[in-house]
Structures are given as structure tokens and as C-alpha cells.
Amino acid sequence: MAERNESNSEILSWGPNDKHRLLNTRLPRVDFPYKTTGTAIYTYDVSLPGMLQGRILCSPHAKATIKSLDLSPALRIPGVKAAVKRLDVGGMLRFEGDPIAAVAATTAEIAEDAVLAIQVTYNELPFVVTADDAIKPGAPAVYPDDPAVINNTRVNDERGDSGKVADALKSADAVVEAEYRSPTLHHTCLETHAVVVDYRGGDSATVYVSTQGTFSIPGDAARTLDLDESNVTGIVQYMGGGFGSKGGIGVEGQLACRLSKQAGVPVKMALPRRDEFIMAGNGPGSIQKFRAGVSRDGKLLAVQVEEYGLGGIGGARLAGQPYVYRAENIYRKAGSIHTNEDAARPLRAPGHPPACFAMESLMDELAYKIGMDPVEFRIRNLPENDVHIRQLQRGAKEIGWDRRSRTPGGWPGTVKRGFGCACGVWGGGGRAQCVVDVSIGRDGAVIVSCGSQDLGTGTRTYMVAIVAEELGLEMGDVHEKIGDTRLTNANYSGGSTTAASLSPAVKVAAINAKAEIAKALAPVLGANADDIVFADRKISAGGKTLTWSQACAALPSAGISVRGKFKRGLSSNGTHGACFAEVEVDTETGHVQVIRILDVQDCGLPLNRLAVESQINGGMVQGIGMALLEGRVMDARLGVMINSSFMDYKIPGCLEMPREMLPLIDDDDPRQQVVGVGEPPSVPPAAAIANAIYSACGVRVRELPITPDKVLMGLMGAKA
């Protein structure tokens, strides 16, 4: 294989964003024929001869030790082939859902029976499952031996001068003191965490996982199976959503490995929905307390804030306040509050949507308090020349900001319209791990491959598009392979880094392929390699033209295989977005309907406009869920989750969809670099909707989700 890590034939750049033939256009995703016909095989769909179905016994208690545990009744059920303990007698259970043991049986139904047959008794212990209970002095300690955790609170960031802030607040023309709350959310990937372990003894295994990191599989599985990492193949062909919840093979994967090892046959462990809710992660809730002061002319003078993520037994970090805005004086204390709940995991732009909701609600309250247009007030407190300024101006124009009633609740009638906005940021950026192979056969077949995974973001499609564009081919001429550790290395998909990490390596590989072809064909065309032009599925130089097939037939017998590695400069980090929402609030029922919503989002060079717009739509839809519907509900006395199903944990459906959604790519972004856009569009929508609700009916709901009862209580309060 010819390795060319550097291209010397041309300067490495994507060129102007508006000069692409395929990139930055609207490309249907290359895997759609499979995703629309049931032929895309997800981990959940993998079926192997003799495969068993696994199920997990989860703790029914928020905190307990195991008094006794007997798996033998489960093993006596016909069809049950293996059972393993994760914990044994004396083991500590730290939350409802904490896995205790697992079984594998010939059918899922028998495996469910077997879990029920396991004999287990508990010593129940005092617990806390709400933040309010957790911070009370004397509350049961989640981490009794950790001196850094006081009243179940761990402070890990404290900065600023609280004295100066207090002085500045005294001189402010208006002060708002408010506490904002957002509940624990769930990723609710439609494909729950799923693992299929294909191990039948011997020294190798293949492990299929619904994970965001294909290359996290072999290490995780090899440890549990006691195999060499190099003898474990990890496969992630298609996956049904991750949103931050799926890293490695997880505890469910480890249990599946042990079951497979015990039974000597493949085991599928696909979590039932309820287990997914209680043991497979959540996005942290938040409590954020502010005192903030402004001058009459709309300058943020001082912000004092305590911000806590609700991380369960894990940590949870929120974006630092005052988020995207500037204030002359800032004092900030940040940390996590611990409870006996499953550990929080990253959830799409971790820490940002809750921080944005709180800060943007506060900004709105301050703007109304001094009688200033909320858009104007924001612009006055953003850094000079900040990207958000142009995005706010564009968004205001597109939504028809001037149509709003300047008085909250001033829209005529009982069903009132309101308008709100919010800004968000995200980092992203490229990581250096990605390596990409491009091979071209003498039959003209072009294959671009990398072990990376496609979470639904369109990875496959831009890989094909980059290579096709570089070689003067069409989308259908190039084929891709991903999701397999036998292919080249790639990074974990987290933090919106996949496109920014992978696309540069694809570009380098494509340039290298082009150079190799040119070198091979220069004698045939009687031209310098540098003068050969690739366009319209043809290769030409010096007046001679070969079709792609003719050209490839003239390649060396082994064809061409080249490799490309990540190169800095082709991608970048830092994104900005502004969201505007128009809502209708029925003041008689408290029902909120989002009428129109738009999100202006920059992303440097949009690799595929269709896919980027879909990402922005997705961010807005998840924002609607966060604003109006979603939130984990715990029974504080029993220590269990009450709404662990789609019947009770509401996610947005067709009827919640606005009449119009506008995913707007900010083409004023001058960067000719790829910037990931998976997470950022989900940051500001919930805040924009909350602000629109205030504009519509004059009710400021400071705790998400904004359900009809809260709106009605607010309206009653306003009347009283």
C-alpha cells in the first residue's frame, strides 16, 4: 500500500465554500435505500445461529446491600443456558436500576421469566433521589467517605470576587433574583443499548455494539472475555441513535460477554425500554440561582450565580455562566449535587441547554425589567463583532420579530402569540486519530473506508461526496465501508468531532488517490502528472481524454490503494447559533403550541446541506421536548423512577410539531473549514420557547418542562 500522508501536488484546502460541485449541496444520504427498506442491519437486528437472548436483573431499590442471591431457580427453567452475578452478597446497590445479575436463554420471553425467578433479598438503606432532599443537612450521604462532598454537594469551580459583585448589584438600576431548574432528561435513543457477543470458545470473538465508538469495543470486550484485544473484532454497521449515551460496550456488554463465555454460544443483550431508562444513562438536570444587575441603558453590570448539575451518583458539569454574555463583574460557584440515581452521561451538547435556558431566561427578565427590546438587550451584552449579533438580526427578520406585542400577554384574544429568542455555542473541532483508505480497482470501483461510525449524522454520505468530488466522479461511482475495527482507525463520536476529524482524512486520502492515478496515467496520456484534469467522470491532459473506465483499466494490476491521515487546517472548532420561536398559549387550558421555530447555525463548510439542515431540525425538535414535555420524575419516598416508559416520559411527536420549522445555515461564516454541527442546534431552542411563552402570556416559568399546569398556575398568580 502506497502511504502518502502529505500531498505535495497542491495546497491542502477545501477551496471557497460556494465553489463545490457536490459538497455544500443537497445530497440524499447514500444509505437511504437500506434505511427505508428494513435492510440496514442494526445491532438489535443481528441474528446468529444458536444465539441466546440476555436480560438483566436490576436493583429495585435506590440504595441497598444484597443480603442473599441465588441464581439456581433461574437456571432450572428450560431454555435458560447461562446466568452470571455482577455483584454478590454484601454488594452495594447505589440506584434503582443498578445491575445485579444477568441471564441468557433461548428466547427473550424465557429470559424475562428467568430474571423473575432469581432469588434475591436486600438490606434496604436510607437514600435520597431528589436534589432538594439531598442538600438538606443530615440527609443520607451518597458519598459518605468523600470529604469534598458536603451535603451531597461537590463544588468544583469557584471564581470571581463576590464582594465586587455585591457592590455592583447595589449600584444597578434593576436587579433580578431568580432560580431556574431543569429536570433530568433521557436520551431515549430508539435503539436501546444493545450488544451481540459472538464468542464460541477459542481465541477470537466478534462483538456487535450500538455504540458511538467502534474502536472502544475490542478493548472493553477483550478484558471481559480474557482475549487479546487484537483478536476481537468490533462492528457498528448502523446504530439507532446515541446522543451521548453510548460509549464502549457498557455494563450490559460486559454481562453479555460473561454470559457468552459461560454458554459457549453467541448472546444478544438488548435492553428493554424500562431498563434503558433506569440503568443506561440520562442527561443531568440543573438548579441555577442568580442575582444579576443591569444599568438603565442595558449593560450587564454584575452576575452572581450558583450553578449545579444533578448528576445522580456521577458528576455533572454545566456550561459556565453568564454563558455567551459579558458582564463587568462575575462571581460563579459551580458543581454537582449527588443523589441515588444512575450516573448522568453526556447528552447532546452536555451542560449547554440547561445553562442556556437559565441564562437566556435571565436575560429576558432583565430586558423586560428595563423595558428594552430583548434582541437589542442581548446585542448590547455580546462581545464586539460576535457572530451571534448577525444571527440575532437575521433570525429576528425571518421570524417577524416586529409582529410581537411589546407587552407580555398583549396579543388579543384568549389564545395568545408570543416570540422569544436565545443564543448558544459549542466547541467541537477535529481530533487527530482518523485514518482513511481509498482503493481504486482496474474495474473502476472506488471504495473509501474507515472504521468510524454513523450515528445518523450522514458520515457515509460525506465520505463518498469528498472522494467523488476530488476525482471528478458522481456519488454513485464511489462506495463506502465503515463501522468495523478491521478498517482504519477513527475517534469516538462525541462533542460533535466526527466530521471535523474524519473529513480531513478523507480529503487527504482522495488527494493522494488522485496523485497516484495521475502518476500512473501520465505516460499513457503523454503528459505531466500535474497537468492531468479529473472532471465529468473523465481524465484528460494535453488534448487526450480517457473515460473513468478506460483510465482505470490502465492502472497497475493491483489497482491503487492509498491512505490519508487527519490534517490540521481542514477543520475547525467553535460554533454559534441563534434560535427564535413563535408560540401560541391557550390561556384557558395552559396548552402551548410552537407555531414557528428557526435556528440560525454556523458550521464553516457544510459538507451536505440536506444533512446539516436535518441536524438543525433535530436540535429544534429535541428543544421542544425539553421545553414542554420531558423530565424524569422520581418518587422521593420509594426512590424509584415513576415515568420510565414512553407512555409517561413524553418525547415530541407529530402533533407537537410546529407548522413551520426553518433550519437556517449561516452562510456568512467565512471559514472554509469543516465544523461539527451535531450538538449545537439543540442548545438554544428550549430557552427561546420559554421566552416566547412569557411574551405570549406574561408567565415566567422558571422550571422546565413548561407544562399546562405551570402556565395556568402562573396565570392565576398574575391575576391574583
Partner 1 sequence: MGKAKGRDTSTGFSRRRFLQGVGVVGVGALVADNALLKAADQPAGASATDGIVSGNVEIVLQVNGRNRKVTVEPRTTLLNALRNNMVPPITGPKLVCDMGTCGCCTVLLDDKPVYGCLTLAIDAVGRKITTVEGIGTPEHLSPVQAAFGEKDGMMCGYCTDGFVTSITGLLKANPNATEEEIREGCKGNFCRCGTYPRIFQAALEAVKARE
Q: Which window, 395-403, 406-414, 444-452, 613-621, contacts partner 1 (CB under 8 A)?
A: 613-621
The reply to whether 646 sits near partner 1 by the rule CB under 8 A is yes
The reply to whether 192 sits near partner 1 by the rule CB under 8 A is yes
Residue of 8, 385, 647, 720 interacting with partner 1 (CB under 8 A): 647
Pick 56 or 438: Cβ nearer partner 1: 56
| Measured distance CA(303)–CA(323) in Å, rounded | 11
The reply to whether 118 sits near partner 1 by the rule CB under 8 A is no
Pick 8 or 37: Cβ nearer partner 1: 37
Write out the binding residues for partner 1, residues 203-262 only, by CB under 8 A. Answer: 238-241, 243
Residue of 24, 184, 188, 601 interacting with partner 1 (CB under 8 A): 188
The reply to whether 601 sits near partner 1 by the rule CB under 8 A is no
The reply to whether 654 sits near partner 1 by the rule CB under 8 A is yes
Asked if 246 and 212 touch (Cβ cutoff 8 Å), the reply is yes
Q: Which residues contact 91 (CB under 8 A, 6 or more apart)?
A: 65, 66, 100
The reply to whether 44 sits near partner 1 by the rule CB under 8 A is yes
Q: What is the DSSP string of 488-503?
A: -------SS-HHHHHH
Pick 87 or 629: Cβ nearer partner 1: 629
In angstroms, what is the minimal distance from the CB of 173 to partner 1?
41
Q: Which residues contact 58 (CB under 8 A, 6 or more apart)?
A: 96, 97, 98, 99, 100, 275, 278, 279
Asked if 151 and 335 touch (Cβ cutoff 8 Å), the reply is no
C-alpha cell at 84: 452470571
Cell 444599568 -> residue: 295
- Using CB under 8 A as the criterion, what x/- string covers residues 661-680 for binding partner 1? x-------------------
In the sheet with 544-547, reading across from the earlier edge strand, the strands are: 533-535, 538-541, 544-547
Q: Which residues contact 199 (CB under 8 A, 6 or more apart)?
A: 205, 206, 207, 225, 257, 260, 261, 266
- Tell me whether residue 204 is exposed, middle or buried, using C-beta atoms within 10 angstroms of its C-beta: 0 to 12, 13 to 18, 19 or more: middle
Q: Which window, 17-25, 381-389, 545-553, 645-653, contacts partner 1 (CB under 8 A)?
A: 645-653
Residue of 212, 433, 459, 622 interacting with partner 1 (CB under 8 A): 622
Residue of 96, 98, 191, 630 interacting with partner 1 (CB under 8 A): 191
Pick 5 or 107: Cβ nearer partner 1: 107
The reply to whether 550 sits near partner 1 by the rule CB under 8 A is no
Residue 82: helix, strand or coil by DSSP? strand
**Amino acid at site 621:** V
DSSP state of 344: P
Pick 222 or 621: Cβ nearer partner 1: 621
Pick 128 or 626: Cβ nearer partner 1: 626
Residue of 12, 75, 87, 108 interacting with partner 1 (CB under 8 A): 108
Residue of 6, 10, 19, 28 interacting with partner 1 (CB under 8 A): 28
The reply to whether 614 sits near partner 1 by the rule CB under 8 A is yes
Residue 432: name the closest of 484, 497, 348 by CA: 497
Write out the binding residues for partner 1, residues 436-475 only, by CB under 8 A. Answer: 455-458
Q: What is the 3-state secondary structure (H, E, C) of 185-250?
A: ECCCCCCCCEEEEECCCCCCEEEEECCCCHHHHHHHHHHHHCCCHHHEEEECCECCCCCCCCCCCH
Cell 430583548 -> residue: 374
- Which stretches of the chain bind partner 1, using CB under 8 A? 28-29, 31-42, 44-45, 47, 53, 78, 107-109, 187-192, 238-241, 243, 270, 272-273, 455-458, 610-611, 613-615, 617-622, 645-647, 651-655, 657, 661
